[in-house]
Chain A
Amino acid sequence: MTALDDIRVRERAAAEMRAKEGVEAETVEAVKALSGTYKHGWNTEIEMEFAPKGLSEDIVRLISERNDEPQWMLDWRLEAYRRWTRMKEPKWAMVQYPEINFQDQYYYARPASMKEKPKSLDEVDPKLLETYNKLGIPLKEQAILAGVKPAPDDRKVAVDAVFDSVSVGTTFKKELAAAGVIFCSISEAIQEHPELVKKYLGSVIPQSDNYYATLNAAVFSDGSFVYVPKGVRCPMELSTYFRINAENTGQFERTLIIADEGSYVSYLEGCTAPQRDVAQLHAACVELVALDDAEIKYSTVQNWYPGDENGKGGIYNFVTKRADCRGARSKVMWTQVETGSAVTWKYPSCILRGDDSQGEFYSIAIANNYQQADTGTKMVHLGKNTKSRIVSKGISAGKAQNTYRGLVSMHPRAKNSRNYTQCDSLLIGSECGAHTVPYIEVRNNSSRVEHEATTSKVDDDQLFYCRSRGMDEEEAVALVVNGFCKEVLQALPMEFAMEAQQLVAISLEGSVG
């Protein structure tokens, strides 16, 4: 080998080395760029129109009127409202927050420009479009979400954008309609597809289900509606982006997704809110119906404002999500990354009614500072040969409390069913808490139920290894935590996985040292 060759070899090696370092540096940069305080805490100055403060039958009527709803819808709401006034707020969750004054907030807020519903996205107030642009959700009919390299055409994402109480626009409606898929706001669906709404609304989460679901049934103002017809594989990912903007305003959206026989749909949900000192209420309902051989994937990246490092402000996130695997061989997969909200109370569930149906739940819940999360799932096995799998990763840091609460129930008729549950908790710091409260009910002997849970701290050896490779402590913790969450991150659609990974790092900001 000549000296020249030797130099070339070395140069090549050095170039490879640089490239490798480059990639790593890029990842680190990406995380750094996103680190720091809550990124979406800004607020859009926009003229809003509010319903009067407080909650009464008149407000329920007003919301119904604003949405031009038919009588049956109003009656449904009023029935829910009357029931709600007789209900008591549940206290069993391991969360503490000051009494909510339901009369001291707005139940309906819409941008003034939305008074006349825009017919297409071109008519939407540019300020609103700008808001979503800033959030990284451009409401243009472009192929992909920002931040992701152009992908082949089949990776389009249709977005329904909900701003406070109203849906401001839905993208790709035409293209979806060509495939027979209905994707619109629920207020539109009530107008245009009343037969579907009437048939399925409240069929998974009845009006009387629980305190917050009943409240939602009375005052929900908008949300998304999806119907995928028989045998259709939805040609693109669907998503809804929820933004709370107005002060002292609760957001109550309702999402209804119906996957008809043999269909498939993947749905993404994102949410953010401005940074404010006063806590705000968000009480949503999500109903999924999967008929024979249908499959629904529902992924959430929940990033509501979590309150500041002293626990001031933030969103109270009291959400009811439930899937009814009504048909044989139907399948529902919930994936959630919960990093935001001051208080979370959320149990995405599956009713496995159809024989051979499957439910899956993958969750990462991160609580830092004074955040409190009580989240988990319910898998109710009613049909034969039903399967469920639960993987929950809880991470607590700062002074936060994180609880996994779940139910696995095998009914007598659910012969030959299987459940596997794994919940792991990680504690960072000595002032936080991690709790596991599973309920296991087995009423037949041909089924198998397995539950495993562990609680531990971030492994010192792993941290030491990362530190010895030159990472600072926070980066090292973020990497170890990402590894801890890997199983769940892998279950997320590509668009969300990157965002979720970065969120994990941000949410733990300030938790070390």
Chain B
Amino acid sequence: MVGEAKRQATEDRLGALTLPEGGGWLGAARKDALDRLRAVGLPGRRDEYWRYTDPRPLNAPEPEGAAEAAGDDPFAGIDGFVITVDGDAVIVPDGAPEGLEVDTLRHAAGADIHWAREIYGTREAAGSRPVSRPFGMLNTAFATDGVLLRAKGKVARPVHIRYAPGTDPILHHVVKIEAGATLTLLESGTPGNRGNTALEAEIAEDGALHHLRIQDPDPKRHVNTHFFAALSARSVLKSFTLSAQGAFVRNEGTIDLTGDEGSATIAGAAFGRGDFHHDDTVFVTHDAVDCESRQVFKKVLRDGATGVFQGKILVKEGAQKTDGYQISQSLLLDDDSVFLAKPELEIYADDVACSHGSTTGAIDETALFYLRSRGVSKRDATDLLVLSFLAEALEEIDDEALREHVNDCLAGWLSTH
């Protein structure tokens, strides 16, 4: 039951949007998502998973402020296949790497039959149970475009989705990794002054998806991202996000381990100051035996910044031999910064080993003193300690070259921001 105020807020927001035209299959998926959204309404502070993040900037019919121009490409120097998302439109160049099929949502909408049909909205709908993701539903219903990737073999070159900021874009990507195939997917840039992006991924048996996202410094960024993934037997998912600055960032991840011996890692490092509000909301569901999952999140907050972590490991009945791990750590560099966490375990199988840890505190005075006594300035010493704190999360990036690259980005930003 949606209360009157919530219903009205939802209709106000929907009133400012137009349902994009599309083919039969896409239209049906959009309508289904819209119905589901109307049934739950847009979130309010009283909704359990929005108690630490005020959804008002996302609820407002119109976004605040104008989009900033895109900064330097943080993946410059990495030989990727770059797909540009210019505001609300996807531009795919020629020469897609071998083993990869690339399409756009706008183009696929016109097709009667499309492989993305099985996935579009399906993962999102599954990820909305039991906790609804209203902005994910909104995304499925109103996405104007998106990248559709289908890996049929081991794709050698990484695919890089590069965002150039637009006005209030809603983008929806679909990734399908077929049996035994592998793909590395990079994302960078800010989609817009208020971006709503969704990524739905299905990884078939023995497949692997490496996802690396950099939300590069943009003090005005308002973005809500969704990552819905389903893993089949023996498949692997590695997802890492580095966030620097941003007024409002909520990255939601919903990972379902549906096949035996799957392995999922979802990790992130974030740092920001001032009105930086950064929220990681992650749900990992174990619904098969012998699976492993890791959630590793680290945040460095200063000058009144707020960090939020809501993570859950759900082990369903029968998901025996599960190994679940979750850690959320936060470093508060001053007295005004805030860290709010809700690390949850929900377990219905007995032969499991699940653990979570969460720590919050200031920078280690002893370490700081040591560095200063060696002649390092306070500022440099702090940067060094922050870097070493965040670097632990970077360990979750498998590819050594990419890890080094992210580490260099981070070090560079720390000294300038």
Binding site for B on A (CB under 8 A): 92, 412, 415, 425, 427-457
Alpha-carbon distance A432/B348, docked complex (angstroms): 6
> Would you call B69 an interface residue if the criterion is a C-beta within 8 Å of the partner chain's C-beta atoms?
no
Alpha-carbon distance A450/B339, docked complex (angstroms): 12
Q: With a CB–CB cut-off of 8 A, which chain A residues contact B351?
A: 430, 457
A-B contact pairs, 7 of them (CB 8 A): A430-B320, A440-B342, A442-B332, A442-B340, A448-B360, A449-B358, A449-B361
Q: With a CB–CB cut-off of 8 A, which chain B residues contact A427?
A: 347, 349-350, 352
Question: 0/1 per residue, B319-355, Cβ < 8 Å to A?
Answer: 0100000000010111111111111111111111111
> Would you call B380 an interface residue if the criterion is a C-beta within 8 Å of the partner chain's C-beta atoms?
no
Given A92-B48, A447-B361, A448-B360, do A442 and B338 touch, yes or no (CB 8 Å)? yes
Nearest chain-A residue to B318 (Cβ)? Answer: A430
> Would you call B317 an interface residue if the criterion is a C-beta within 8 Å of the partner chain's C-beta atoms?
yes
Alpha-carbon distance A428/B339, docked complex (angstroms): 35
User: Smallest CB–CB gap between A403 and chain B, Å?
Assistant: 8
Contact of B345 with A455 in the complex, beta carbons under 8 Å = yes
Nearest chain-B residue to A424 (Cβ)? Answer: B355
Q: With a CB–CB cut-off of 8 A, which chain B residues contact A454?
A: 353-355
Q: With a CB–CB cut-off of 8 A, which chain A residues contact B336?
A: 412
Contact of B362 with A457 in the complex, beta carbons under 8 Å = no
Further 5 A-B residue pairs, CB within 8 A, beyond A427-B352, A441-B338 = A433-B346, A436-B343, A438-B342, A439-B340, A452-B356
Interface residues of B in 221-272 (CB under 8 A from A): none
Q: With a CB–CB cut-off of 8 A, which chain B residues contact A434?
A: 345, 347
Contact of A452 with B350 in the complex, beta carbons under 8 Å = no
Q: How many A-B residue pairs have CB under 8 A?
A: 115
Given A447-B361, A449-B361, A457-B351, do A436 and B338 touch, yes or no (CB 8 Å)? no
Contact of A446 with B335 in the complex, beta carbons under 8 Å = yes
Contact of B347 with A437 in the complex, beta carbons under 8 Å = no
Contact of B330 with A442 in the complex, beta carbons under 8 Å = yes
Question: 0/1 per residue, B131-150, Cβ < 8 Å to A?
Answer: 00000000000000000000
Contact of B352 with A457 in the complex, beta carbons under 8 Å = yes
| 6 cross-chain pairs, A with B, having the tightest CB-CB distances, nearest first | A445-B332, A427-B350, A448-B361, A436-B345, A440-B341, A451-B358
> Would you call B357 an interface residue if the criterion is a C-beta within 8 Å of the partner chain's C-beta atoms?
yes
Residues of chain B at interface, number, CB under 8 A? 36
Given A442-B332, A444-B335, do A435 and B345 touch, yes or no (CB 8 Å)? yes
Partner of A433, one of B330, B335, B338, B347: B347
Q: With a CB–CB cut-off of 8 A, which chain B residues contact A447?
A: 360-361
User: Smallest CB–CB gap between A454 and chain B, Å?
Assistant: 4
Nearest chain-A residue to B356 (Cβ)? Answer: A453
Nearest chain-B residue to A430 (Cβ)? Answer: B350
> Would you call B377 an interface residue if the criterion is a C-beta within 8 Å of the partner chain's C-beta atoms?
no
Contact of A430 with B349 in the complex, beta carbons under 8 Å = yes
> Would you call B8 an interface residue if the criterion is a C-beta within 8 Å of the partner chain's C-beta atoms?
no
Contact of B354 with A455 in the complex, beta carbons under 8 Å = yes
Question: 0/1 per residue, B42-53, Cβ < 8 Å to A?
Answer: 000000100000
Q: With a CB–CB cut-off of 8 A, which chain A residues contact B388?
A: none
Q: With a CB–CB cut-off of 8 A, which chain A residues contact B330?
A: 442
Contact of B342 with A433 in the complex, beta carbons under 8 Å = no
Alpha-carbon distance A429/B355, docked complex (angstroms): 19
Q: With a CB–CB cut-off of 8 A, which chain B residues contact A436?
A: 343-345, 356
User: Smallest CB–CB gap between B258 and chain A, Å?
Assistant: 19
Partner of B359, one of A429, A441, A448, A456: A448
Question: 0/1 per residue, B280-323, Cβ < 8 Å to A?
Answer: 00000000000000000000000000000000000001101000
Q: With a CB–CB cut-off of 8 A, which chain A residues contact B357?
A: 450-453
Contact of B359 with A443 in the complex, beta carbons under 8 Å = no
Partner of A437, one of B335, B344, B348: B344
Contact of B332 with A453 in the complex, beta carbons under 8 Å = no
User: Smallest CB–CB gap between B331 and chain A, Å?
Assistant: 8
Contact of B340 with A441 in the complex, beta carbons under 8 Å = yes
Contact of B355 with A452 in the complex, beta carbons under 8 Å = yes
Alpha-carbon distance A433/B345, docked complex (angstroms): 10
Q: With a CB–CB cut-off of 8 A, which chain B residues contact A450?
A: 357-359
Given A442-B330, A446-B335, do A435 and B350 touch, yes or no (CB 8 Å)? no
User: Smallest CB–CB gap between A455 and chain B, Å?
Assistant: 4
Contact of A456 with B352 in the complex, beta carbons under 8 Å = yes
Contact of B345 with A457 in the complex, beta carbons under 8 Å = no
Alpha-carbon distance A449/B352, docked complex (angstroms): 26
Partner of A428, one of B350, B353, B355, B360: B350
Partner of A449, one of B48, B350, B359: B359
Contact of B355 with A455 in the complex, beta carbons under 8 Å = yes
Alpha-carbon distance A427/B349, docked complex (angstroms): 8
Nearest chain-B residue to A431 (Cβ)? Answer: B317
Q: With a CB–CB cut-off of 8 A, which chain A residues contact B317?
A: 430-431
Partner of A435, one of B320, B333, B347: B347
Contact of B338 with A438 in the complex, beta carbons under 8 Å = no
User: Smallest CB–CB gap between A461 and chain B, Å?
Assistant: 14
Given A444-B335, A445-B332, A456-B352, do A451 and B359 touch, yes or no (CB 8 Å)? yes
Contact of B340 with A440 in the complex, beta carbons under 8 Å = yes
Contact of B359 with A435 in the complex, beta carbons under 8 Å = no
Alpha-carbon distance A449/B343, docked complex (angstroms): 13
